[in-house]
Each structure stands twice: as structure tokens, then as C-alpha cells.
């Protein structure tokens, strides 16, 4: 299935389940030699519980959160940054300021660049998938709000081209933003 459209609301955990499943697969990736890292693009970002780890099932994937009952987005980004580049594109919002203040992202090799107030794009891009849509990467965006996202994954030509185009655009935007 090359593209999956997901509509969500507070009564479902579909978005969190999709995010945690997709990111679990990326965390298991062993070959990052192609040089494509991870982009997080969201005007608002917060640190929310991403994995339910009550039984320790994600301890091996996110060792720095070993033993935690819930694994948060920041823990996943730090873990990914240990094997590939992680770039966050956001804007100066209270949620994003709190998210960035909660961790020393530079120490974890997570790069951050702030866009202007006109940033409205939302997406999560990895070599394995591209998730795009209306959802901000916040607790409310993933777990409460009514959102619609499209998840693109697989080796079909249209998906490969869409992921390549997303990398080209986010690489261009990254270069334009001041460090």
C-alpha cells in the first residue's frame, strides 16, 4: 500500500499508532549510508508520549529511555540522531520553545532551524516514509485534534518520487534558513 490516508479524532489513537509503528521501523534501520536523515517540519512541536513501553518492548529501540513506561518524541529524535542527521524546522511558538528548552538538542546532535511566521507545512520525512498533512507534532495534534494525514511508504515509483521531492524541498528550505 503506497499511500494511506488517516483521519483521526480524540476518540482514536490512529495517528499515535501510525507514528509509533513507522518510527519503530525507522529505529530498526541498520543502513544509513545513503546519507538521508530525518526531517521534522511542524510550526508547533511538543514532547508527547509516543510509545507505550509499559512492558519494556521498546527498550532495545530507545535505550536512553530504558525502563520508562512511556517513551517521548524527544527520546526518539535523540536516538535517531545517534545514527543519522535529525533536522527540525519549526517556528517561534510557545510550544516549540518549551520543547526545545526541555532538552539540549545540540548535545544530542539534533539540528534546529526556525522559519518565519508563515511556516504552515507539517511533515515527518525519513528514507522509509513521508507523513504529511494537517497534524502538528504536538500532544493535541497527535492525540486530540481532528486531523488528516497521508502516509507514503514503500518502493512503488510514485512513493519513491514523492519522498525524493520532499527531500529536495526540505533540503532547499533548510539551506535558506539561518542557523
Could you tell me the pTM of the whole model? 0.94
Q: What is the pLDDT of residue 28?
A: 94
Q: What is the pLDDT of residue 2?
A: 78
More confident residue, 109 or 60: 60
Q: What is the pLDDT of residue 108?
A: 80
Integer Cα distance of 36 and 33 in angstroms:
8
Check whether 33 has a pLDDT greater than 70: yes
Check whether 34 has a pLDDT greater than 90: no
User: What does R_g of the chain's alpha carbons equal in angstroms?
Assistant: 15
Check whether 1 has a pLDDT greater than 70: no
Average pLDDT of the segment spanning 5-29: 90
Q: Give pLDDT tens digits for 108-132.
A: 889 999 999 999 999 999 999 999 9
Check whether 95 has a pLDDT greater than 70: yes
Q: Give pLDDT tens digits for 133-165.
A: 999 999 999 999 999 999 999 999 999 999 999
Whole-angstrom CA distances from 45 to 63, 122, 157 are 23, 10, 31
Q: What is the mean pLDDT of the chain?
A: 93
Q: Which residues of 128-167 are buried (b: 16+ CB within 10 A; e: fewer)?
A: bbbbbbebbbbbebbbebebebebbbeeeeebeebbeebb
Q: Which residues does residue 114 pair with via DSSP β-bridges, in sequence order?
A: 90
Question: What stretches of 44-119 show up as alpha helix (H) in DSSP?
Answer: 73-81, 94-101
- Helices 14-27 and 73-81: crossing angle in degrees, nearest 10, is 20
SS3 of the chain: helix, strand, coil, percent, to 5: 35, 25, 40
Q: Which H helix or E strand runs over 19?
A: helix 14-27
Q: What is the pLDDT of residue 179?
A: 79
Name the band, by pLDDT with cuts 50, 70 and 90, for residue 9. Answer: confident
Amino acid at each position: 500500500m503506497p499511500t494511506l490516508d488517516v483521519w483521526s479524532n480524540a476518540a482514536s489513537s490512529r495517528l499515535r499508532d501510525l507514528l509509533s509503528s513507522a518510527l519503530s521501523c525507522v529505529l530498526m534501520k541498520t543502513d544509513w549510508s545513503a546519507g538521508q536523515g530525518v526531517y521534522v517540519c511542524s510550526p508547533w512541536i511538543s514532547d508527547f508520549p509516543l510509545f507505550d513501553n509499559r512492558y519494556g518492548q521498546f527498550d532495545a529501540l530507545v535505550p536512553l529511555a530504558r525502563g520508562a513506561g512511556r517513551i517521548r518524541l524527544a527520546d526518539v529524535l535523540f536516538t535517531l540522531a545517534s545514527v543519522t542527521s535529525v533536522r527540525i524546522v519549526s517556528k517561534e511558538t510557545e510550544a516549540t520553545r518549551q520543547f526545545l528548552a526541555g532538552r539540549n538538542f545540540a548535545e544530542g546532535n539534533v539540528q534546529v532551524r526556525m522559519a518565519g511566521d508563515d511556516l504552515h507545512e507539517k511533515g515527518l520525512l525519513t528514507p522509509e516514509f513521508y507523513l504529511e498533512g494537517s497534524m502538528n507534532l504536538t500532544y493535541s495534534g497527535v492525540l486530540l485534534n481532528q486531523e488528516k494525514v497521508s502516509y507514503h511508504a514503500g518502493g512503488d515509483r510514485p512513493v519513491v518520487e514523492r519522498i525524493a521531492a520532499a527531500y529536495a524541498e526540505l533540503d532547499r528550505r533548510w539551506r535558506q534558513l539561518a542557523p
